[in-house]
């Protein structure tokens, strides 16, 4: 039987989600990839337990994480049952609904029927009575926002979720959704968005500014830009890399030589600080106003331990931030010129 590391809380930093009472670890573990039925269960278990042993208390899922959809929740539920259930009250478990889960008109987007049915299915797969955070996963261009937010309110009132969250919303819709949830007296506390040195969408679509204005927490995903903000691709593309083995999320044409040269400049900045590039990429996010936690992904426990090195890094100074922004802008210009 698993016994958690008694020193797990000594080093991890915890930040409050906006003006709520909930705190999250500055690093959270996302189960988007490597927790489906094609992955090793023993490796999944080692990753989850390694995370918890090092103070990562938040585990982020969604109904469609797999493959197949639902598999990550099912596998995480098994880990909970076999190893972590005695520690349930020390865990923050989140899930989402918003992408396609089953055939027909009721298995996608943001209707009340879909969201509440999906939450019930997620709870069953994980063997839980409630999740700590239930997100709407993406904006629905057709369903009334009042209906979608009403479904989140019902999830909380029923006791099947403690808090509500929104994912992949832009600033305009965050504000409208927040107004509805405030009126319904729903504890909506957090937004989840893609954000990294190389992806500034939340700065452009108003999500970051709205998040801070609304005083909500923000948790960011894809902080290492699919491995581009690591030393993985600085000297060629390894045979066992995601590009060679998978090819769904990152392609060779995404890494022209001019871009790699700029990534090496970021790496040089990191080395000048005595850090690794990945640690600086994570630190950059944690130094951003409003960021509560950063979601990391992993394919093996060692990657989790490597990401935890960010806890040993110092805050980026103004000159370093300016240099990073300059290089990122140059990379963005190079990316515009890439012809797929």
- Residue 201 sits in a domain whose CATH number is 3.20.20.100
Range of the domain at 297: 14-226+285-312
Q: Going along the chain, which residue ranges are E strands? A: 14-16, 23-25, 27-30, 58-60, 92-97, 131-136, 161-167, 188-194, 217-221, 291-296
252: pLDDT strictly greater than 90: no
pLDDT at residue number 242 = 63
Report d(CA 92, CA 193) in Å as an integer: 18
Mean pLDDT of 71-86: 98
Residue 1 to residue 284: CA distance in whole angstroms: 38
- For 237, counting Cβ atoms within 10 Å of its Cβ (0-12 exposed, 13-18 middle, 19+ buried), the class is middle
What confidence score (pLDDT) does residue 241 get?
65
Return the number of other C-beta atoms located less than 10 Å from residue 328's C-beta: 18
Question: What is the average pLDDT score of the chain?
Answer: 96
Average pLDDT of the segment spanning 99-111? 97
pLDDT at 103: 97
* Domains of the chain: total: 1
Q: Beta-carbon neighbour count of residue 235 at 10 Å?
A: 9
* Residue 139 clears pLDDT 70, i.e. is over it: yes
In-domain check, residue 167:
yes
CA–centroid distance for 157 within its chain: 25
Please check whether residue 244 lies inside any domain of the structure: no
185 band by pLDDT with thresholds 50, 70 and 90: very high
Confidence of residue 77 (pLDDT cuts 50, 70, 90): very high
pLDDT at 248 over 90: no
pLDDT in tens, 111-135: 999 999 999 999 999 999 999 999 9
Residue 138 falls inside a structural domain: yes
Is pLDDT above 90 for 239? no
Q: From the CA atom positions of the chain, what is the Rg in Å?
A: 20
Would residue 6 count as lying in a domain? no
pLDDT value of position 214: 98
The answer to whether residue 277 sits within a structural domain is no
Instruction: Give the helix ranges, DSSP H, for 127-256.
Output: 145-157, 171-183, 201-204, 207-214, 242-245
Among candidate residues 181, 103, 118, the one with its CA nearest the CA of residue 145: 181
Q: What is the pLDDT of residue 247?
A: 58
Examine residue 80 and state whether it is found in any structural domain, yes or no: yes
Q: Read off the pLDDT band of 50 (50, 70, 90).
A: very high
Is the per-residue pLDDT at 285 higher than 90?
yes
> Is 23 among the domain residues?
yes
Whole-angstrom distance, CA of residue 202 vs CA of residue 168: 9
Residue 237 lies in a domain: no
């Amino acid at each position: 039987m698993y016994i958690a590391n008694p020193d797990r809380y000594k080093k991890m930093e915890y930040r409050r989600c906006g003006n709520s009472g909930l705190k999250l670890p500055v690093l959270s573990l996302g189960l988007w990839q490597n927790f489906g039925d094609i992955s090793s269960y023993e490796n999944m278990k080692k990753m989850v337990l390694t995370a918890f042993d090092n103070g990562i208390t938040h585990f982020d899922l969604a109904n469609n994480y797999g493959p197949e959809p639902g598999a990550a929740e099912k596998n995480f539920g098994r880990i909970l049952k076999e190893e972590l259930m005695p520690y349930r009250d020390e865990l923050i478990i989140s899930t989402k609904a918003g992408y396609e889960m089953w055939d027909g008109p009721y298995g996608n987007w943001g209707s009340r029927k879909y969201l509440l049915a999906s939450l019930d299915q997620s709870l069953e797969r994980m063997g839980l009575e409630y999740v700590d955070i239930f997100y709407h996963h993406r904006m629905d261009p057709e369903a009334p926002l009042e209906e979608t937010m009403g479904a989140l309110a019902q999830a909380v009132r029923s006791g099947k979720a403690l808090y509500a969250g929104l994912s992949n919303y832009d600033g305009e819709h965050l504000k409208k959704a927040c107004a509805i949830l405030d009126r319904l007296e729903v504890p909506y506390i957090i937004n989840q968005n893609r954000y990294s040195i190389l992806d500034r969408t939340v700065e452009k679509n108003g999500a970051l500014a709205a998040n801070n204005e609304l005083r909500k927490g923000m948790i960011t995903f894809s902080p290492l830009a699919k491995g581009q903000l690591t030393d993985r691709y600085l000297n060629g593309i390894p045979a066992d890399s995601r590009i060679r083995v998978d090819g769904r999320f990152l392609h060779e044409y995404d890494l022209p030589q001019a871009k790699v040269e700029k990534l090496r400049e970021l790496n040089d900045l990191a080395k000048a600080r005595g850090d690794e590039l990945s640690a600086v990429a994570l630190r950059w996010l944690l130094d951003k106003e409003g960021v509560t936690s950063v979601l990391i992904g992993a394919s093996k426990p060692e990657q989790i331990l490597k990401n935890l090195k960010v806890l040993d890094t110092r805050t980026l100074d103004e000159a370093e931030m300016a240099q990073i922004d300059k290089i990122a802008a140059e990379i963005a210009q190079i990316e515009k010129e890439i012809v797929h």
